[in-house]
A and B are shown apart, each in its own frame.
Chain A
């Protein structure tokens, strides 16, 4: 390739673990460290003869030896598990943070969408925020004046332009924010998962806008958990694993590599999670999503038989009677979609052993391709014993839900429902379009 839009060579980023968690130190720590260091060293030498090595904090490489290049006009998806280094990569490319080693060469202007609403101030009005956010994202004043009406039209919020955005609903906020971002006109656009926001109609607009950007010869780097969307938008993809490039190439090939890798097959340990509530009479210890073949999977297909297997443990001495379980499926943005609960379906468990596993079976998974959030609740005797509102993220990919080999576009909503179409008055059998119309509905 003679020209490249982006060239990344041997990129690495090292974080100090301490610096990442306790995000800042106090001056007192620094001063006491400075004063105590020589004392410690002397004390150390008295105790042992070996020379003291100043104790350095543990470090991790969030990114290591990452090299790739992108041709102008390409849309490249970046996939991988949480913590694989996707966001760190985008942060370096957008110059938010510096690499520890390696180099990057970028041709032209870079626009980055690492979050929705960058630079929005709640006290300012919609109009003011469009201008401010546009300027922060790198638009010139002349450019903003020129595109202002277009941005407002895209957001469909004309009548609320002079309202402070703190009075906006979250949906309105997102629409306005994306409208600004969509009108950036960069040579290289970096996008981090912001597409999956807003209602279905607005999502469709966002996808259309992304495609338009791609077709307009812009280069796009797109980070997402939504494999379906990456597949739809990007011709090429990059799989990151533990900060390294695990695979690169056509999107299908990389996604296939990702799906067959072992990393997705492990169950999710819940034992040590702290983001839970409840009295602890019962605790979830592990959760696995089992695919059609009964194997644990992180990724399942639309329409597949899915079983959620929950391992639990009772508190010592506790008796598990009248046990209620609930698995709630929702979007990553907090909207609940559907729920599976014992009380509605077969009743609560009258009595359970202190340690065990239960399975919730969904014969036909009614979810469109996308990423979802699973919340778990366990009650013993009507009291919440354990609750994890964001227990695990589940990725759903294309599957043959309708038995027709077709799925509606992902922007038409997350839920799939079995249904039939008939001409009124005729029987289903006389139409003979899909599979076996005489068969009972699969529910």
Chain B
């Protein structure tokens, strides 16, 4: 350290233009942002490994200190299926598009469980990582994306059970099964879109934590899981697609167990609705992001 006189002026910035030497390391600039801001997907892409690590953490931690561990991923939809079969299939005699009711219900419950769990974890992802938000920078979008991504593992377990059930009922998927990955993507876009909205609101208003179970329950009955959408006549069936999970659920049944109700226009409406949810959710999230660290 330098001896001698206090060099008080030295550290104080001189006003005026600043020029950086050409070819130097990248310079980042921090300024206050106003209003709607860009999504900065490039930055998110640069942190893709972090998204991977967060997903890995969420998978690792999710069933730690639980007795039944990952079997919850299977138990949850299976028991719901049993109850639905009993009450809606047996007692209420709800039609099931010519498919055995348990299979009919389960084919819908598998993507639905992905949605419901993804939503629960995604909407709480920021609040649960409040400590991180206050201490270190990374694109905040990584947290809900990872939470939703981790739910895919649960989905795969449940999907395995669905395949076994199809074997039991002697159902082979139709050619339409090639659409399945796209339908899964539609489900993920939907759950991420809703999660982004709720996660961002949750930071400021903890009401979300209490509202999410309620929202999921209502949404369950607003989606043709216990009943077929063929109960509705056109054009209402297409309008029903505004709930993106309608397209997902009917698509899954059509692709796997071969219900006659090819989703057609419904799934297009669902895809549009899901895209709108995701884009608006992402922009809202980014807009709220600047206050996360201050109020989380």
How close is B40's CB to chain A, nearest CB, in angstroms? Answer: 12
A69 touches B13 (CB 8 A): yes
A187 touches B137 (CB 8 A): no
Q: From A3, A105, A112, give the contact of B29 (CB < 8 A).
A: A105
**What chain B residues lie within 8 Å of A308 (beta carbons)?**
none
**What chain A residues lie within 8 Å of B56 (beta carbons)?**
132
A135 touches B2 (CB 8 A): no
Stretch with Cβ within 8 A of B (4 or more), from A117-125, A198-206, A360-368 = A117-125
A135 touches B53 (CB 8 A): yes
A70 touches B11 (CB 8 A): yes
User: Taking each of A124, A140, A248, which has the highest tally of chain B beta carbons within 10 Å of its own beta carbon?
Assistant: A248
Question: Which residue of chain A has the shortest Cβ distance to B130 in the bound complex?
Answer: A23
**What chain A residues lie within 8 Å of B53 (beta carbons)?**
131-132, 135-136
Q: From A27, A76, A98, A99, give the contact of B207 (CB < 8 A).
A: A27
How close is A77's CB to chain B, nearest CB, in angstroms? Answer: 10
Stretch with Cβ within 8 A of A (4 or more), from B80-88, B179-187, B198-206, B249-257 = B198-206
B57 touches A23 (CB 8 A): no
Q: From A105, A114, A138, give the contact of B135 (CB < 8 A).
A: A114
How close is A13's CB to chain B, nearest CB, in angstroms? Answer: 9
Given contacts A103-B29, A252-B1, contact A3 B21 (CB under 8 A): yes
B11 touches A69 (CB 8 A): yes
B30 touches A92 (CB 8 A): yes
B11 touches A24 (CB 8 A): no
Please report the total number of A residues contacting B with Cβ < 8 Å.
75
A131 to B57 alpha-carbon distance, docked (Å) = 10
From 255 to 273 in chain B, residues with beta carbon under 8 angstroms from any chain A beta carbon are none
Stretch with Cβ within 8 A of B (4 or more), from A234-242, A370-378, A411-419 = A234-242
B60 touches A128 (CB 8 A): yes
Q: From A8, A15, A235, give the contact of B1 (CB < 8 A).
A: A235
Q: Is A224 an interface residue (CB 8 A)?
A: no
How would residues 344 to 382 of chain A score, 1 for a CB under 8 Å from any chain B CB and 0 otherwise? 000000000000000000000000000000000000000
**What chain B residues lie within 8 Å of A34 (beta carbons)?**
none
B30 touches A95 (CB 8 A): yes
**What chain B residues lie within 8 Å of A20 (beta carbons)?**
294
B205 touches A106 (CB 8 A): no
Q: Is A438 an interface residue (CB 8 A)?
A: no
A118 touches B8 (CB 8 A): no
A103 touches B8 (CB 8 A): no
**What chain A residues lie within 8 Å of B33 (beta carbons)?**
98
A248 to B206 alpha-carbon distance, docked (Å) = 43
**What chain A residues lie within 8 Å of B60 (beta carbons)?**
123-124, 128
**What chain B residues lie within 8 Å of A70 (beta carbons)?**
11
A91 to B18 alpha-carbon distance, docked (Å) = 23
A23 to B204 alpha-carbon distance, docked (Å) = 8
From 269 to 296 in chain B, residues with beta carbon under 8 angstroms from any chain A beta carbon are 290, 293-296
Q: Is B61 an interface residue (CB 8 A)?
A: yes
A136 touches B136 (CB 8 A): yes
Q: Is B25 an interface residue (CB 8 A)?
A: yes
A118 touches B61 (CB 8 A): no
B1 touches A19 (CB 8 A): no
**What chain A residues lie within 8 Å of B203 (beta carbons)?**
24
Q: Is A250 an interface residue (CB 8 A)?
A: yes
Given contacts A108-B25, A118-B132, contact A245 B12 (CB under 8 A): yes
From 191 to 236 in chain B, residues with beta carbon under 8 angstroms from any chain A beta carbon are 203-207
**What chain B residues lie within 8 Å of A103 (beta carbons)?**
29-31
Q: Is B133 an interface residue (CB 8 A)?
A: yes
A8 touches B13 (CB 8 A): yes
Q: Would you give 17 A-B contacts (Cβ < 8 Å), ordered by A?
A: A4-B18, A15-B294, A24-B295, A30-B205, A69-B12, A91-B134, A96-B135, A96-B137, A104-B30, A110-B28, A114-B135, A128-B57, A132-B53, A236-B7, A250-B4, A253-B5, A253-B6
Which 9 pairs of residues, A with B, have the shortest CB-CB distance? Answer: A253-B6, A248-B11, A95-B137, A104-B30, A108-B25, A235-B1, A27-B207, A135-B53, A67-B13
B-contacting residues of A (Cβ < 8 Å)?
Answer: 2-4, 7-9, 15, 19-20, 23-28, 30, 67-70, 76, 91-110, 112, 114-115, 118-119, 121, 123-124, 128, 131-132, 135-138, 140-141, 187, 231, 234-236, 238, 245, 247-254, 256-257
- With A123-B65, A140-B49 known, 20 other A-B pairs at CB within 8 A are A3-B21, A4-B20, A20-B294, A24-B295, A27-B207, A28-B207, A69-B11, A70-B11, A95-B30, A105-B30, A107-B20, A118-B136, A119-B136, A121-B61, A124-B61, A131-B53, A236-B7, A236-B11, A250-B7, A254-B6
